[in-house]
Structure 1
Amino acid sequence: MKKFITVITICISVFGLQAQELTSPNGNLEMKFSLKENGTPAYQLFYKGEEVIKTSTLGLELQDDSTSLMNEFEISDTKTSSFDKIWTPVWGEQAKIRNHYNELAVTLDQPSTDRKMIIRFRMFNDGLGFRYEFPQQENLVYFIIKEEHTQFAMTGDHTAYWLPGDYDSQEYDYTTSKLSEISSKFDEAWVGNASQTQFSKSAVQTALMMKTEDGLYINLHEAALKEYSLMNLNLDENSLVFESWLTPDAIGNKGYIQAPAVSPWRTIMVSDDATDILASNITLNLNEPNKIEDTSWIKPMKYVGVWWEMITGKSTWNYTDEFPSVKLGETDFENAEPNGKHGANTAHVKEYIDFAAENGFDGVLVEGWNVGWEDWFGHSKDYVFDFVTPYPDFDVEGIQKYAESKGVQMIMHHETSGAIRNYERHLDTAYQFMNTYDYPAVKSGYVGDIIPRGEHHYGQWAINHFLYAVKKAADYHIMVNAHEAVRPTGLRRTWPNLIGNESARGTEFQAFGGSKPNHVTILPFTRLIGGPMDYTPGIFEMDISKINPDNNSHVNSTLANQLALYVTMYSPLQMAADLPENYKRFPDAFQFIKDVALDWDESKYIEAEPGEYITVARKAKGTENWFVGNVNGTTPRTSKIKLDFLEDGKKYEATIYADAKDADYKTNPQAYKITKKSVISKSTLKLTSAPGGGYAISIFEKE
Structure 2
Amino acid sequence: MHNLLLTAILFFAICSNTNAQKLKSPEGNFTMEFSLLQDGTPTYNLKYKNKEVIKPSKLGLELKNDKKSLLNDFVIVDSKTSTFDETWQPVWGEVNKIRNHYNELAVTLNQKETDRTVIIRFRLFADGLGFRYEFPTQKNLTYFIIKEEKTQFAMAGDHNAFWIPGDYDTQEYDYTESKLSEIRGLSEKAYTENVSQTSFSTTGVQTSLMMKSADGLYINLHEAALINYSCMHLNLDDKTMIFESWLTPDANGDKGNMQAPNHSPWRTVIVSDDARQILDSKMTLNLNDPCKIEDTSWIKPVKYIGVWWEMITGKSSWAYTNELPSIQLGVTDYTKVKPNKTHAANTAHVKEYIDFASKHGFDAVLVEGWNEGWEDWFGNSKDYVFDFVTPYPDFDVKGIHAYAKSKNVKMIMHHETSGSVRNYERHMDKAYQFMNDNGYDAVKSGYVGAILPNGENHYNQWVVNHYQYALEKAADYKIMVNAHEAVRPTGISRTYPNLIGNESARGTEYQSFGGSKANHVTILPFTRLIGGPMDYTPGIFEMDISKLNPDNKSHVNSTIANQLALYVTMYSPLQMAADLIEHYDRFPDAFQFIKDVAIDWDESKYLEAEPGDYITVARKAKGKSNWFVGNVNGNNSRTSKINFDFLEKGKNYTATIYADAKDAHFKTNPQAYTIKKIKVTNKTKLSQLSAPGGGYAISIIENK
What SS is found at the alignment partner of 1:289? Answer: coil
Match runs of 1:325-474 below 5 Å: 325-474=326-475
What SS is found at the alignment partner of 2:334? Answer: coil
Kindly provide the amino acid, as one letter, of the partner of residue 43 in structure 1.
Y
Deviation at 1:50, TM superposition (A): 1.3
- Who is 1:271 aligned against? 272
Contact 2:604 2:617 (C-alpha < 8 Å) held by counterparts? yes
Contact 1:364 1:408 (C-alpha < 8 Å) held by counterparts? yes
- Who is 2:535 aligned against? 534
Are 2:168 and 1:167 equivalent residues in the alignment? yes
Give the Cα–Cα distance (whole angstroms) in 1 for the partners of residues 188 and 51 of structure 2: 35
Are 2:74 and 1:55 equivalent residues in the alignment? no
Kindly provide the amino acid, as one letter, of the partner of residue 284 in structure 1.
L
- Who is 2:127 aligned against? 126
1:432-488 deviations in whole A, cap 9, x for unaligned? 000000101000000000001100000000000000000000000000000000000
Deviation at 1:16, TM superposition (A): 7.1
- Who is 2:551 aligned against? 550
- Who is 1:602 aligned against? 603
- Who is 2:214 aligned against? 213
Provide the TM-score with structure 2 as the length reference.
0.98
Are 2:291 and 1:290 equivalent residues in the alignment? yes
Give the Cα–Cα distance (whole angstroms) in 1 for the partners of residues 687 and 16 of structure 2: 60
What SS is found at the alignment partner of 1:397? Answer: helix
Give the Cα–Cα distance (whole angstroms) in 1 for the partners of residues 455 and 14 of structure 2: 49
Deviation at 1:111, TM superposition (A): 1.4
Match runs of 1:485-500 below 5 Å: 485-500=486-501
- Who is 1:3 aligned against? none
Give the Cα–Cα distance (whole angstroms) in 1 for the partners of residues 647 and 443 of structure 2: 37
Are 2:615 and 1:614 equivalent residues in the alignment? yes
Match runs of 1:192-341 below 5 Å: 192-341=193-342
- Who is 1:19 aligned against? 20
- Who is 2:4 aligned against? none
Contact 2:16 2:36 (C-alpha < 8 Å) held by counterparts? no
- Who is 1:100 aligned against? 101
Give the Cα–Cα distance (whole angstroms) in 2 for the partners of residues 146 and 312 of structure 1: 43
Kindly provide the amino acid, as one letter, of the partner of residue 222 in structure 1.
E
Structure 2 unaligned regions, length at least 5: 1-12
Deviation at 1:93, TM superposition (A): 0.4
- Who is 1:509 aligned against? 510
What SS is found at the alignment partner of 2:353? Answer: helix
Deviation at 1:639, TM superposition (A): 1.3
Give the Cα–Cα distance (whole angstroms) in 2 for the partners of residues 337 and 513 of structure 1: 32
1:45-89 deviations in whole A, cap 9, x for unaligned? 001111111110000000012421100000000000001100000
Deviation at 1:688, TM superposition (A): 0.6
Deviation at 1:18, TM superposition (A): 1.1
- Who is 2:580 aligned against? 579
- Who is 1:7 aligned against? none
Deviation at 1:13, TM superposition (A): 6.7
Are 2:185 and 1:184 equivalent residues in the alignment? yes
Give the Cα–Cα distance (whole angstroms) in 2 for the partners of residues 456 and 640 of structure 1: 45
Deviation at 1:489, TM superposition (A): 0.1
- Who is 1:6 aligned against? none
Kindly provide the amino acid, as one letter, of the partner of residue 434 in structure 1.
M
Give the Cα–Cα distance (whole angstroms) in 2 for the partners of residues 409 and 84 of structure 1: 39
Deviation at 1:300, TM superposition (A): 0.4
Deviation at 1:15, TM superposition (A): 5.8
1:255-279 deviations in whole A, cap 9, x for unaligned? 0000000100000001000000000
Give the Cα–Cα distance (whole angstroms) in 2 for the partners of residues 489 and 586 of structure 1: 37
1:171-208 deviations in whole A, cap 9, x for unaligned? 00000000000010000001111110011010000000
Are 2:101 and 1:88 equivalent residues in the alignment? no
- Who is 1:591 aligned against? 592
Give the Cα–Cα distance (whole angstroms) in 2 for the partners of residues 122 and 229 of structure 1: 22
- Who is 1:672 aligned against? 673
Kindly provide the amino acid, as one letter, of the partner of residue 282 in structure 1.
M
Contact 1:13 1:19 (C-alpha < 8 Å) held by counterparts? no
Give the Cα–Cα distance (whole angstroms) in 1 for the partners of residues 211 and 466 of structure 2: 32
Deviation at 1:14, TM superposition (A): 4.4
Give the Cα–Cα distance (whole angstroms) in 2 for the partners of residues 484 and 313 of structure 1: 20
- Who is 2:153 aligned against? 152
What SS is found at the alignment partner of 2:19? Answer: strand
Kindly provide the amino acid, as one letter, of the partner of residue 494 in structure 1.
T
Give the Cα–Cα distance (whole angstroms) in 1 for the partners of residues 532 and 517 of structure 2: 22
- Who is 1:520 aligned against? 521
Describe the shift of the 1:682–1:691 C-alpha distance in structure 2 as closer, same or farther (beyond 3 A): same
Contact 1:32 1:45 (C-alpha < 8 Å) held by counterparts? yes
Kindly provide the amino acid, as one letter, of the partner of residue 510 in structure 2.
F
Aligned residues: 692
Contact 1:24 1:125 (C-alpha < 8 Å) held by counterparts? yes
Give the Cα–Cα distance (whole angstroms) in 1 for the partners of residues 554 and 156 of structure 2: 41
What SS is found at the alignment partner of 2:494? Answer: coil
1:74-133 deviations in whole A, cap 9, x for unaligned? 000000000110000000000000000000000000111010000000000110000000
Provide the TM-score with structure 1 as the length reference.
0.98
1:532-561 deviations in whole A, cap 9, x for unaligned? 000000000000001111111000000000
- Who is 2:8 aligned against? none
What SS is found at the alignment partner of 2:602? Answer: strand
Contact 2:538 2:576 (C-alpha < 8 Å) held by counterparts? yes
Give the Cα–Cα distance (whole angstroms) in 2 for the partners of residues 446 and 324 of structure 1: 22
Describe the shift of the 1:16–1:321 C-alpha distance in structure 2 as closer, same or farther (beyond 3 A): closer
1:276-307 deviations in whole A, cap 9, x for unaligned? 00000010000000000000000001000000
1:374-396 deviations in whole A, cap 9, x for unaligned? 00000000000000000000000
What SS is found at the alignment partner of 1:492? Answer: helix
Give the Cα–Cα distance (whole angstroms) in 1 for the partners of residues 426 and 105 of structure 2: 44
Contact 2:16 2:37 (C-alpha < 8 Å) held by counterparts? no
1:303-346 deviations in whole A, cap 9, x for unaligned? 00000000000000000001000100001101110001000000
Kindly provide the amino acid, as one letter, of the partner of residue 493 in structure 1.
R
Kindly provide the amino acid, as one letter, of the partner of residue 422 in structure 2.
R
Kindly provide the amino acid, as one letter, of the partner of residue 212 in structure 1.
S
- Who is 1:4 aligned against? none
Kindly provide the amino acid, as one letter, of the partner of residue 245 in structure 1.
W
Give the Cα–Cα distance (whole angstroms) in 2 for the partners of residues 688 and 434 of structure 1: 46
Kindly provide the amino acid, as one letter, of the partner of residue 440 in structure 1.
D
1:638-669 deviations in whole A, cap 9, x for unaligned? 01111000000000000000000000000000
Structure 1 unaligned regions, length at least 5: 1-11
Give the Cα–Cα distance (whole angstroms) in 2 for the partners of residues 51 and 303 of structure 1: 46
What is the aligned-residue RMSD (CA, Å)?
0.8
What SS is found at the alignment partner of 1:17? Answer: coil
What SS is found at the alignment partner of 1:440? Answer: strand
Q: Aligned residues: percent identity?
A: 73
Contact 2:17 2:37 (C-alpha < 8 Å) held by counterparts? no
Give the Cα–Cα distance (whole angstroms) in 1 for the partners of residues 112 and 503 of structure 2: 46
Give the Cα–Cα distance (whole angstroms) in 2 for the partners of residues 363 and 661 of structure 1: 36
Contact 2:15 2:38 (C-alpha < 8 Å) held by counterparts? no
- Who is 1:8 aligned against? none
Contact 2:569 2:631 (C-alpha < 8 Å) held by counterparts? yes
Contact 2:540 2:579 (C-alpha < 8 Å) held by counterparts? yes
What SS is found at the alignment partner of 1:334? Answer: helix
Contact 1:539 1:562 (C-alpha < 8 Å) held by counterparts? yes
- Who is 1:5 aligned against? none
